Structure 1
Amino acid sequence: MPHSTTVLTPAATITLLDEKLTDADAATPARFLQDHGLTSETLPFWLVNVPRSQWTSECPAFLRDQPPKNVQCLATPDSHYQRQSWEEVQEITRTNRIDRFQRVPSELRKYLEYMAQIKAQYGSVMRFVVKERLGWGDGSLEDLRPRGGPFEYAEDIRILYNDWPYGIDTDIIHLVVWTKFELPDDPATGDLTAEAREAIERYVQATFCSRVAPEQVVWFRNWKSLKSVHALEHFHVMLRRPDRAFVREITNGDVPLIERV
Structure 2
Amino acid sequence: MPHEEPLPFWLVNVPREQWPKECPEFLKDCGEKDKRIIGTPDAEYKRLTWDEVTEIIRIGRIDTFHRVPSDLRRYRQYTHRLVKEYGSILNFIVNERLQWKTVTPRGRPFEFEDDIKILYNDWPYGLDARIVHLVIWTKFDLEDDPATDNLTPAAQQQIDDYVNRTFCTKVRSEHVRWFKNWRSLKSVHAVEHFHVMLYDPDPEFVETITNGDVPMAEKVAQAPVDVVMPAAE
Both structures adopt the same fold (TM-score exceeding 0.5): yes
Distance 2:162 2:119 in 1: 15
- Map of 1:75 onto structure 2: 39
Q: What's the offset of the Cα at 1:145?
A: 0.5
Q: What's the offset of the Cα at 1:65?
A: 2.5
Distance 2:33 2:3 in 1: 24
Structure 1 position 108 matched with structure 2 position 108:
no
**Structure 1 pair 37/92, CA: closer, same or farther in 2 (3 Å)?**
farther
Distance 1:124 1:131 in 2: 11
For residue 6 of structure 2, the aligned residue among 39, 42, 50 is: 42
Q: What's the offset of the Cα at 1:57?
A: 3.0
Q: What's the offset of the Cα at 1:242?
A: 0.2
Structure 1 position 128 matched with structure 2 position 92:
yes
Distance 1:231 1:38 in 2: 49
- Map of 1:93 onto structure 2: 57
Structure 1 position 65 matched with structure 2 position 65:
no
Residue aligned with 2:26, SS = helix
Question: Which whole-Å deviations, capped at 9, do the CAs of 1:180-207 have from their partners, x for residues lacking one?
Answer: 0000110110111111111001000010
Which structure has the larger Rg over C-alpha atoms? 1
2:77 maps to amino acid: E
Q: What's the offset of the Cα at 1:232?
A: 0.5
Distance 1:64 1:149 in 2: 43
For residue 130 of structure 2, the aligned residue among 167, 171, 190 is: 171
Distance 1:119 1:65 in 2: 14
For residue 208 of structure 1, the aligned residue among 160, 163, 167 is: 167
For residue 146 of structure 1, the aligned residue among 105, 108, 111 is: 105
Q: What's the offset of the Cα at 1:37?
A: 9.9
1:68 maps to amino acid: E
| TM-score, normalised with respect to structure 1 | 0.82
Q: What's the offset of the Cα at 1:225?
A: 1.1
Give the length in aligned residue pairs: 220
Q: What's the offset of the Cα at 1:67?
A: 2.1
User: Using CA pairs below 8 Å that are at least 6 residues apart, which structure has the higher relative contact order?
Assistant: 2
1:161 maps to amino acid: Y
1:105 maps to amino acid: P
Q: What's the offset of the Cα at 1:87?
A: 0.8
Question: Which whole-Å deviations, capped at 9, do the CAs of 1:39-67 have from their partners, x for residues lacking one?
Answer: 7x610000000011221232111112222
Distance 1:38 1:254 in 2: 48
Residue aligned with 2:197, SS = strand
Residue aligned with 2:207, SS = helix
Distance 1:229 1:37 in 2: 47
Percent identity, aligned pairs only, is 58
**Structure 1 pair 188/80, CA: closer, same or farther in 2 (3 Å)?**
same
- Map of 1:25 onto structure 2: none
1:107 maps to amino acid: D
**Structure 1 pair 91/37, CA: closer, same or farther in 2 (3 Å)?**
farther
Distance 2:2 2:116 in 1: 53
- Map of 1:250 onto structure 2: 209
Structure 1 position 180 matched with structure 2 position 139:
yes
For residue 119 of structure 1, the aligned residue among 61, 77, 83 is: 83
| TM-score, normalised with respect to structure 2 | 0.91
**Structure 1 pair 76/149, CA: closer, same or farther in 2 (3 Å)?**
same
2:154 maps to amino acid: E
Question: Which whole-Å deviations, capped at 9, do the CAs of 1:209-259 have from their partners, x for residues lacking one?
Answer: 000000000000111111111110000000000000000010001011111
Distance 1:38 1:114 in 2: 35
For 1:184-195, list aligned pairs within 5 A.
184-195=143-154
**Structure 1 pair 197/42, CA: closer, same or farther in 2 (3 Å)?**
same
Distance 2:149 2:28 in 1: 29
Point out where structure 2 has 5 or more consecutive residues left out of the alignment: 221-233
